[in-house]
Chain A
Amino acid sequence: MTDKLDALLKNHLAAGADDPGSAQRVLTALAAPLPRQRGAWRRLPGALLDWQFAPAWPRVAVLAACAGIGFVVGLGSMDYFDGTPSPFASAAASDVTALFEPEPVTGARP
């Protein structure tokens, strides 16, 4: 009798017809924008491991060229520092003088 019951249950439960309409409704509902995943930060280490840090040679060439140009421009600008006072420095000095001028009426100094 147990075998009969097993066979009966197996046939009955396996015969349950799937309703394609139900599945379609659920799939349509799932097509809406999905919520945010929990623990998404956990994939960060993997993303960092997958990151290609090795620079490509054209980028290295561009970097070297920029460095070279910067060096040459730097060398060419060296004559600005030949001992003549900077216009900024003289402006600052005159400001200081004006600030500490004696008071015209009383002659008092701050």
Chain B
Amino acid sequence: MQEQSDEALMARVAAGDEAAFRILARRHVPRAIALARRVLRNSAEAEDVAQDAMLRVWTNAPRWRPIASFRTWLTRIVVNLCIDRQRRVSWLGIEAAGDVADPAPDAAARRETSDTARLIDEAIAELPVRQRTAIVLTYREGMSNAQTAEVLESSVAAVETLLVRAKQTLRAKLGPLFDKS
């Protein structure tokens, strides 16, 4: 049986089809969690964001119009939720942000035992949230500048600026890695 496209499934979800929603969720939740984890640097928060994003997909499905692809729409929801949470956490202060961290060692944490990986992760984590999001969308999701601009609800020129600034910062912080190689 041929697999239905995301857009076809969304049309069914818009008609209140819960089975279609579950198929979409199985298809996109892992990617949404990975994206949120990369932006938020917190597994528990990333799970919350993914769940919240999928619930928004369900509740707003009747109003969805297939102008953009479903993947872009979902990415935009996830990114907006991440940016909202990041701003809320920075408003509360670093102590409050530290309390919600998941202490359980997950797959991502195990991978970061490598010093190099940790160094890169820290450098990315220190970027402003929009620059970090642009980096993650470009290098992890493989999105073009136009797609990243659509997700960030910004212009292509603004995305290019974000990427240039982010890479300048990363280059300055990761200089020793390049010297080593």
Q: Chain A interface (Cβ within 8 Å of chain B)?
A: 1-2, 4-6, 8-10, 12-23, 25-27, 29-31, 34-40, 42-43, 46
- A1 and B178 contact, Cβ closer than 8 Å, known pairs A16-B108, A39-B63: yes
CB neighbours (8 Å) of A5 from chain B are 167, 170-171, 174, 178
A-B contact pairs, 26 of them (CB 8 A): A1-B171, A5-B167, A8-B120, A8-B174, A12-B120, A13-B139, A13-B140, A15-B111, A18-B30, A18-B34, A19-B43, A19-B108, A20-B30, A22-B43, A22-B50, A23-B29, A23-B33, A25-B47, A26-B50, A29-B51, A30-B22, A30-B29, A37-B16, A38-B62, A39-B63, A43-B15
Bound state CA distance, A82 and B5, in angstroms? 74
Tally inter-chain residue pairs, CB-CB below 8 A: 114
B29 touching A39, Cβ below 8 Å: no
Mostly, the B contact residues are: helix
A16 touching B34, Cβ below 8 Å: yes
CB neighbours (8 Å) of B107 from chain A are 17-19
B174 touching A30, Cβ below 8 Å: no
Counting from the closest, the 3 A-B pairs by CB-CB distance are A13-B140, A19-B107, A23-B30
- A37 and B61 contact, Cβ closer than 8 Å, known pairs A14-B140, A22-B106: yes
Determine, out of B52-60, B67-75, B84-92, B152-160, the stretch whose residues face the partner at the interface.
B52-60
CB neighbours (8 Å) of A12 from chain B are 117, 120-121, 139
Shortest distance from the beta carbon of A87 to any chain B beta carbon, whole Å = 58
Tally of contact residues, B, Cβ under 8 A: 46
Q: Chain B interface (Cβ within 8 Å of chain A)?
A: 14-16, 18, 21-22, 25-26, 29-31, 33-34, 37-38, 43, 46-47, 50-51, 54-55, 58-63, 106-108, 111, 117, 120-121, 135-136, 139-140, 167, 170-171, 174, 177-178, 181
The chain A residue sitting closest to B21, CB to CB, is A34
A16 touching B111, Cβ below 8 Å: yes
Bound state CA distance, A10 and B14, in angstroms? 36
Bound state CA distance, A72 and B37, in angstroms? 78
B55 touching A30, Cβ below 8 Å: yes
